[in-house]
Amino acid sequence: MSLIMKVKPFFHFITLDPVNLSIKGKFLSVVSCFIAILVVAWITHKFSASAAYPIIVASMGASAVILFIIPHSPLAQPWPLVGGQLVSALVGIWSAQVITDTALASACAVGGSVLVMLLFRCLHPPGAATALTPIMAGDPITSLGYGFVLMPVGLNVVIMLIMAIAINRWVLRYEYPTVPHLADNKNHKLNSLIQPTQRTSISEQDLEQALENMDMFMDVSAADLSKLFTDAQMQSFKRSRGNITCADIMVKNILTVEYGTDVEETWKIMQSEKLKAMPVIDRAKRVIGIVTWNDFFKFINVGPNETFSEKFRAFIRRTPNVTTDKPESVGHIMTRAVSVLPESTHIADLISLMSNQGYRQIPIVNNKNRLVGMVYQANLIAALYNESHDYAKNKPLFV
């Protein structure tokens, strides 16, 4: 029994997958490594001055694994890749030329390269292998002198970086290089992702401090941890609330205007229906913008001897002349940057948009991208409070 208990943890480590990738993800990563090394070796061979120059250093294989398996790692970013490999090559050549004892030279090469990489903040584990290359290879490499840093290491690294950017962005669909998490941008695209920490009480500063308190390196950034924590909270919310979608809470048969609708007519509709915003659609009922009160007011400039009401009435009134110097249709004053959500979107995705990013209403579209309704803040609040009646029974007067 005791033997079985000792064996079980061993098999547990064997069966534990160190990378959380799907079968497709693993396959694409393998193909990416194959292509990158093939291109690096082929191009370096073409640029080699003679057969004496090696076409590739062995550590490029380890770099490929890091770049295409864990591209979001701090160790996989451009400066660690380039700086780590080059300074390690310098330390390796110096150790091979100055120290005659192989064991001591090897230790100095690895220890020195790690020290320099840490000092220059470019730690890249394969760099230590690059530092060992001149010592292990002997005369074929040491005879190249410090030229080894440029050829083949320098050329290998440049090509590998180009391949990493291209493959990660266009094949693996990863954001590479990883940009440090910045403050929230107010310009949101369709179905924009909810920014990490916007729906949690834990800030990135809290996570950074927690990582620092561990006093050990973790191959994950505070931004990645924050996003992971936020996604876990969202999954928990969806599980506890059930599958409530935008289609369940939206207001249907909403009033809309088209691009050519008169400014005056649009204002009269909004006034009579007590609306603060209306979607602007094309003839196929696709959302092309949204018009709010602010879109009317932003064109009003009141002079010293004028009143706002006089200027506003003059602005919305249709011009009888053929030519005019003011906007006449709602398409000329509408806000074009408008966020819409599919009707199948879970209401959890609305929380950040409305509570943190200031949206008061979100147009909802079907699978053909045609407008089918609108979700207002009141609809979301009713759903969050789990009211039993129809969430969209009454449209809010002030939206």
Please write the tens of the pLDDT for every residue from 121-163: 999 999 999 999 999 998 889 988 999 999 999 999 999 999 9
Amino acid at 345: T
Query: What does DSSP assign to residue 151?
Result: I
- Cβ atoms within 10 Å of 171's Cβ, excluding its own: 14
On the CB side of 87, CA atoms within 13 Å amount to 22
Distance CA 294, CA 276 (A): 9
Distance CA 116, CA 98 (A): 18
pLDDT in tens, 350-372: 887 887 777 888 999 999 999 99
Please say whether the beta carbons of 200 and 230 come within 8 A. yes
The percentage of residues in the chain with a pLDDT greater than 70, rounded to a whole number, is 81
Confidence of residue 182 (pLDDT cuts 50, 70, 90): very low
Confidence of residue 3 (pLDDT cuts 50, 70, 90): low
Q: How confident is the model at residue 79, as a pLDDT?
A: 97
Name, of 25-39, 207-221, 328-342, the range with top average pLDDT: 25-39
Q: For the residues of 71-93, what is the DSSP string, one character each? A: TTSGGGSHHHHHHHHHHHHHHHH
Distance CA 374, CA 392 (A): 9
pTM: 0.57
Query: What does DSSP assign to residue 215?
Result: T
Q: How confident is the model at residue 214, as a pLDDT?
A: 65
- For residue 291, pLDDT over 90 is answered with yes
Residue ranges of domains in the chain, CATH in brackets: 20-170 (no CATH), 248-384 (3.10.580.10)
- For residue 317, pLDDT over 90 is answered with no
Distance CA 336, CA 339 (A): 10
What value does the mean pLDDT of the chain take? 82
Average pLDDT over residues 187-208: 50
Q: How confident is the model at residue 243, as a pLDDT?
A: 81
Q: 168-172, 322-326, 362-366 — which is least confidently predicted?
A: 322-326
